[in-house]
Amino acid sequence: MSAYLATSDVDALIGANERQALFSDDNTVAGYSVTYFTSLNEKASAVIQSAAKNAGYTLGATTTDDLVKLCTLGQIIAMAYGRKGLLVPSQWQYIVDMRTDLINGNLPLSMSPDAADAVGGLQWSDQTSTTGNGGRVQIFSRLKLQGY
């Protein structure tokens, strides 16, 4: 699984004490669980990978893009606070909301998006099965729909 953040990335933004308390069951530094952090990191990274795909970006297993890391942190924060039944503090809400901007294509990443791969984008291929180029067979056609 991909995990976009290291603990040092999180510490740089929210601090080591906050991270350790957030990922513990008893809200103490001593109760910190690296397994819990790793699990949420992988889940949040998958959420951001999906959000980026929606906008036409294809992210790999790792990233150096600071916006991707920040978006991932936002999802980790949302999941960690949600698990504890707490509301996300207002100072972190803008990071949580960055996912929506990424989905809508309003958050430009350091790579170029592929508009054809984005939701609503178009990819054309030959629709006949005799071309030998792997074209997809058309599922819906006007003629098939008329006879429903």
What residues pair up with 24 in beta bridges, in sequence order? 32
> Given this model, what pLDDT does residue 148 score?
46
pLDDT in tens, the chain (148 residues): 689 999 999 999 889 888 888 888 776 667 788 888 999 999 999 999 999 888 888 888 988 889 999 999 999 999 999 988 889 999 999 999 999 998 888 888 877 666 555 555 545 555 555 545 454 444 444 444 454 4
What residues pair up with 32 in beta bridges, in sequence order? 24
* CB-count burial class (<10 Å; 0-12, 13-18, 19+) for 6: exposed
pTM beyond cutoff 0.95 = no
What is the residue range of 53's domain?
7-111
Burial pattern 133-144, b for ≥16 Cβ within 10 A else e, equals eeeeeeeeeeee
In a domain, 36, yes or no: yes
> Given this model, what pLDDT does residue 144 score?
47
Number of domains in the chain: 1
In a domain, 102, yes or no: yes
In a domain, 148, yes or no: no
In a domain, 107, yes or no: yes
